[in-house]
Amino acid sequence: MAEGVRAAATVGEAARYGSLLLAHALRRPREWIVAHPEERLSEEQRAMFAGLCERRGAGEPIAYILGNAGFYGREFFVNGDVLIPRPETEHLVDEAIAFVKRRRGAVSVLDVGAGSGAIACSIAAETAAVVVGTDISETAIAVAHQNARRLNVADRCAFVHGDLAEPVHGRRFGAIVANLPYVPRGDLPAAPDPLSFEPRVALDGGSDGLATYARLVPQLPPLLESGGLLLLEAAPPTIGRLQRMLQSAFPRYAIEQKHDYAGLPRYLKAVI
Ligand code: GLN
C-alpha cells in the first residue's frame, strides 16, 4: 500500500487506488471489500496486492494494472500496447455519433490509428455504422479485436493492420476520424510520468507534433465521400497548423476547432 500511496497526490486518490488494487488482487468487486473488512488475506493475496501497489508506485497507470479503462460509458480492455483512452476524446465520439445518426442509410466510418478501438467500438455500439479501424501496431490490433468482441460489435467493426490509411486504399467512407500520435517529441516525459508507460508509437508526433498528420492528410481526400465528415484530434498548440494543412487538402470544406472539457481546442471538425 505504501508504494501505491506514493504515486497518489491526495488522500482520496490513495484510498481509491488502494481499494481498486485490492479488489483486483482479490478478484472481487470493490463493494465486496467494503462489506468484508474482517476477511483475512492469504499470503498469496498479500503478495499480489503488494506487487500491484509497487507497480502503481513506480508510476504505471492504474488502467494498465487493472487491464481496464472506462470510455464513453463502456469498459475497454487495455494493456501497454495501446494508449489509454482519454475523456477529452469523448467529444469527438459525440460528434461522429451525431453525424451518423443524422444521415439516412448505412454510414461507413474509418478510424485511422485505432489503438484500443475505443473510438471505433463506441461509434459501432451507439449507431448502425460499419466501422473500420487501422493501426500500425499488430499488438494494438489484437487489443482492438478483443474490445470489439467484448462489446458485441465485431460484426460491424473490423480492424486491419497497416500504416495510416494504406490498408483501406481505394475505399470510401462517410466519416473519417483519427486520434494520431500528436505529442511533440521533446515533450514526451520520462518515467515515472504515467505517459512514459504508454506506447511511444501512439504518442510521438515527431519534432512538431504533426509529423504523422502531415503524412495522413494528403491520403484523405480520395477516401472521403462527398458530404462526408472529418474529425481529427490534436494537441491544442498545434491545432491551428493542422487546420491550415487540412484546409489546403479540403478547400471547399468548413473547418472548425472544437474544444475539450478543459476548454482547450482539441479537435478539428471538417464538413462541407
Ligand atoms: N491526449 C494524449 C495526451 O496528451 C495524447 C494522445 C495522442 O498523442 N494522440 O496525453
pLDDT digit of tens for each residue in the chain (272 aa)?
333 445 667 888 888 899 999 999 999 999 999 999 999 999 999 999 999 999 998 999 999 999 999 999 999 999 999 999 999 999 999 999 999 999 978 899 999 999 999 999 999 999 999 999 999 999 999 999 999 999 999 999 999 999 999 999 999 999 999 999 999 999 999 988 999 999 999 999 999 999 999 999 999 999 999 999 999 999 999 999 999 999 999 999 999 999 998 999 999 999 98
What the block records as the C-alpha cell of 84 is 489509454
The response to whether residue 234 sits with its C-beta less than 6 Å from ligand 1 reads no
Amino acid identity, residue 228?
G
Q: State residue 7's pLDDT score.
A: 62
CA distance 101 to 78: 28
| Parallel, antiparallel or unpaired: strands 173-178 and 254-259 | unpaired
Q: What is the pLDDT of residue 192?
A: 87
Which cell numbers in the block locate residue 242? 493542422
Atom of ligand 1 nearest to the CA of 203: 8
Mutation choice for ligand 1 from 83, 111, 200, CB with most ligand atoms inside 8 A? 83
Tell the residue number behind the cell numbers 455519433, with chain if given.
97
Ligand 1 atom showing the smallest separation from residue 83 Cα: 6
What was the pLDDT predicted at 16? Answer: 87
pTM for the complete prediction? Answer: 0.93
The order of strands in the sheet holding 108-112 is 157-161, 130-135, 108-112, 173-178, 224-233, 265-271, 254-259
Asked if residue 159 has its Cβ within 6 Å of ligand 1, the reply is no
Task: Encode burial over 201-213: b for 16+ CB neighbours within 10 A, e otherwise.
Answer: bbbbbbebbbbbb
Nearest-CA residue for atom 3 of ligand 1: 183
Ligand 1 atom having least distance to the Cα of 113: 9
Contact 124, 156 (CB under 8 A): yes
Asked if residues 85 and 111 have their Cβ atoms less than 8 Å apart, the reply is no
The candidate with the shortest Cα–Cα distance to 95, out of 76, 114, 74, 72, is 72
Three-state secondary structure readout of 18-86: HHHHHHHHHCCCHHHHHHCCCCCCCHHHHHHHHHHHHHHHCCCCHHHHHCCEEECCEEECCCCCCCCCC
44 alpha carbon – ligand 1 mean position (Å) = 37
pLDDT at 81: 98
* Structure confidence at residue 104 (pLDDT): 78
Would you tell me the crossing angle of helices 43-57 and 11-26 to the nearest 10 degrees? 140
Cα–Cα distance for residue pair 161/201, rounded to 1 Å: 14
Sorted by sequence, the CB contacts under 8 Å of residue 232 that are 6+ apart come out as 177, 178, 179, 180, 213, 242, 246, 267, 268, 270
Assess whether the C-beta atom of 178 lies below 6 angstroms from ligand 1: no
Delineate the domains of the chain, giving CATH numbers in brackets. Answer: 2-57 (no CATH), 68-271 (3.40.50.150)
CA 88 – CA 262 distance, rounded (Å): 8
